[in-house]
Amino acid sequence: MRIDRATGGRHRLPDRHWLNEERVRVYSWLTVVIFAITMVWWTARSMPDLVDPRGKPVGYDFIAFWSAARLAIEGRAEAAYDWIAIEAAHRIAVPGLQGKLFLWHYPPTYLLMVLPLGLLSYLAALGVFLAASLALWAGLVRRILVDRRAWIVAAALPAGLVNFMHGQNGFLTAALAGFALLALQRRPVLAGILIGLLAIKPHLAMLFPVALVATGQWRAFAAAAATALGFTAISVAAFGWPTVIAFLADVTTVRQLVDNGNLPWGMMPSPYVFALSLGLPGGAAMALQIAVAIAAAICVWIAWRAPASPFEAPFEAPFEAPFEAKAAVLATASLLMSPYVFYYDLTWAGLAMAWLAVLGLRHGFRRGEREILLAAWACPLIMYVILWLTGVQIGFPILVALLALAMLRARQPAATRGGWRAGPAPTSGSAPDSHERPAPGGIAPPNKRGLVTGRQT
């Protein structure tokens, strides 16, 4: 839909863009239905031995989680990083599995989190894990997208569907990050605790301290540090130092697996893998990764720091980036920090897309924005295909485009942010045409000196 400026934003005009709200919902329903039918058919073909026609177990990557948890319960947590030991645990989970190996590359903190799952049978543990993480994700989506018609769009997110199919933790990590961002302003300690729990996948949480320092959120910073340190200490106490040493040694193994192509590049939208796909040597690829990580950290600092000075926007009063834009910058930039990001981690990009879509619907989409959002949405689906056709990992350029879009939204005053919107509904007892109603765009009326004194968000 488009906002009708002639009526002060009180009416909406039909949206003539090819990717309008109605088509997005229709395409989303088609995606969900096709995925559901495919999953039912594929699961049926995997019964009764829980091995699919390609020889992989139902739940795919989750078998590594369950196997590591079972080894830890047996008192052999460090064996989770041993290929022979974890393969033997695979056969306990799915006796019919032959010749497939799903390695455990996670820190002891995540092993502590999934430990209770090792007490259940494999299939029961998979169901509990998916149900719990999906419930967290659904609760987060409900907080971000208050319009129920948009929920089907979130359900159709390819990164989420891939995460569900692989039994992975993308729902869990994205939920921790999203709820932390939503709680940051009013409940900073809770936000810090949620950030600290991201120690289960610390490479995704590296930019949260930058955002917290930039905004002076010291209570959240302290809570996050205390939680992460306490979480790590408990995991070390539970599993012992040999597990920590095994994990650190495994980091080198992961890089070797990536460099040799044993981990599929089509699943990994990182700068490092992008450079490798172009034929660059490992040293040059790592140099690009480091440069991009530094640039991503700078973007987060710029977006999250204190309101811009009048020298940066000489014709506007100092302004602060809208929360949605800052959150989108942080979520997207976090995906660029590590060489070892997979396509199920793009649930974080789904958060960025949701917040940018909220801004677009509120203020109007600018040219090219919807196309970038579509490319980011489809990224998990097209990375493999484009790599196969061209030899290039396209996921990294798409993430850069999404980050650029978020930065543009974050660094522009609301009055020039691509369109108008109606002000909030009048409060109870006020006249619809009250002079106190905010001007279109959500901007408070200028004062006598012509300066904007506030902004409705």
The per-residue DSSP string of 226-256 comes to: HHHHHHHHHHHHHH-HHHHHHHHHHHHHHHH
Least confident among 59-68, 212-221, 260-269: 260-269
Mean pLDDT computed over every residue of the chain: 85
* Mean pLDDT within 429-441: 33
Structure tokens, 317: 């009063």
Structure confidence at residue 428 as a pLDDT band (50, 70, 90): very low
What's the rounded Cα separation, in Å, for the pair 373 and 158? 13
Structure confidence at residue 361 as a pLDDT band (50, 70, 90): confident
pLDDT of residue 398: 97
Higher-confidence position of 221 and 23: 221
* Mean pLDDT within 131-141: 95
* Mean pLDDT within 336-360: 95
pLDDT of residue 146: 83
Structure confidence at residue 259 as a pLDDT band (50, 70, 90): confident
CA 58, 60, 61 angle in degrees (round to 5)? 145
What's the rounded Cα separation, in Å, for the pair 37 and 43? 10
Least confident among 45-49, 187-191, 267-271, 311-315: 311-315
Phi, psi of 439 (to 5 degrees): -70, 160
* Mean pLDDT within 394-400: 97
Phi, psi of 2 (to 5 degrees): -115, 150
Residue 430 pLDDT exceeds 60: no
pLDDT of residue 416: 45
Phi, psi of 51 (to 5 degrees): -120, 125
Q: Which residues pair with 3 in a beta bridge?
A: 12
* Mean pLDDT within 246-269: 89
Beta strands in 321-405, from DSSP E residues, in sequence order: none
Residue 154 pLDDT exceeds 80: yes
Sign of CA dihedral 360, 35, 135, 102: negative
What's the rounded Cα separation, in Å, for the pair 33 and 37? 6
Residue 108 pLDDT exceeds 70: yes
Q: What percent of the chain has pLDDT over 90?
A: 68
* Mean pLDDT within 129-144: 95
Give yes or no for a contact between 325 and 455, defined as CB atoms under 8 angstroms apart: no
Structure confidence at residue 14 as a pLDDT band (50, 70, 90): low
